[in-house]
Amino acid sequence: MNPTNDPALRSFIPVSADSHFPIQNLPYGVFSVRGEDNPRVGVAIGDWVLDVSLLEARGFFDSTSLRGKGVFASPSLNRFMATGRQAWTEVRTRISELLREDEPTLRDDESLRKESLIPMDRVELRMPVEIGDYTDFYSSREHATNVGTMFRGKENALMPNYLWIPVGYHGRASSVVLSGTDLHRPVGQSKADDADSPKCGPSRLVDFELEMGFFVGAGNDLGHSIPVDSASDHIFGMTLVNDWSARDIQKWEYVPLGPFLSKSFGTSISPWVVTLEALSPFRCAGPEQDPKPLPYLHRDGDQSYDIQLEVSLQGESMSDAQVISRSNFKHLYWSMQQQIAHHTINGCNTRTGDMMASGTISGPTPDSYGSMLELSWRGEKPISFPHGEERKFIQDGDRITMTGWCQGDGYRVGFGEVTGRILPAQ
């Protein structure tokens, strides 16, 4: 076991058992102190942010391959992500050492502690990555089956290619926004089944999609593919994703080229990026793949992660958020490694900061579905809330919050949350 993943490891900073950010996690983000405009890289530890740009300036990473590179005094993680897995491992090990309860270097230096450790409630979190390109996959067999059943019938639920390739499409990186950003109800064309022509207006069927994304660290050159067995070396870390959707606009526009306005109005991500090293104790087998994938997609061993996921909804008149879905990342049929191997098999180059999302993560039971479309079964089974409220799709003023974590022995490795509210159309 990597010593940074030891369940017995403890930080000198008190961290509760249900915190998402124990010493076994150490997720990266970009922050500035409130009232200042100096964004730089930090690491979450309990209710604090460790200013790693300050530690770098003081020489604490001179023993690593980052010596003299100055990657953390930056408004994004991209410069650090581009350094590759060896540097990622070295820095994680060094930060873990500095935060250990039996290591005096930071613990006993009062001045350094005050400068480098900032309470979470005093910081403003920023977009962690400068995203160049965004690809959204469709990797949940359960979700694809549910949607296919609704629109094509049970016998034709899955398209003929689904069990052979990780289906995906190119999304809009410019409208990827940070958690806490509210979005206006999108406007676009839709056509009722009994109408002679479409109309343009606000979407009536706004939905969330429970997803997770990963960021490319070191990319690949044009014309060269990434083998599935080495794909993990190109993945820096993961984040929560709410890929908002306008179902009525999507239904009208997606043939023949796929989603466009129905998806590009906004995609929300969480501010903390959890590394694959932090997630490694929670690796698990994904679903059995039958038929066996083609050789360039075939990989033995555990390909997924046991990440528990929750979605809650809070309307304007609701006093509390209500959990409406509980799912798990391990339900995905296609793994991240298979996604990036397929993405590059034609020689497509990926670049540092590119984001790839999983597609809606639905489980096998109705309470584990990852969208309102499925939870309300296309509006035929409205979701009931206390005090008599119902939802078929998202109403103006509704706030959607997603969270996720891996449960260890007495600790959690979590992602925090991604939240956003739908405002009326402009």
Buried/exposed code over 11-38 (b: 16+ C-beta within 10 A; e: otherwise): bbbebeeebbbbbbbbbbbbbbbeeeee
Distance CA 269, CA 358 (A): 13
Handedness of CA 118, 120, 123, 125 (dihedral sign): positive
Distance CA 273, CA 197 (A): 45
H or E element at residue 314: strand 308-314
Neighbours of 45 (CB within 10 A): 23
In contact, 235 and 212? CB cutoff 8 Å: no
Neighbours of 412 (CB within 10 A): 21
Catalytic member of 143, 331, 342, 343: 143
388 DSSP β-pair partners: none
**DSSP at 336:** H
Beta strands in 120-216 (DSSP E): 123-126, 134-137, 168-170, 176-178, 183-184, 187-190, 199-202, 206-207, 210-216
143 is catalytic: yes
Distance CA 354, CA 168 (A): 14
Assigned token pair, 368: 């584990």
Rg of the chain over CA atoms, in angstroms?
A: 22
Active site positions, annotated:
143
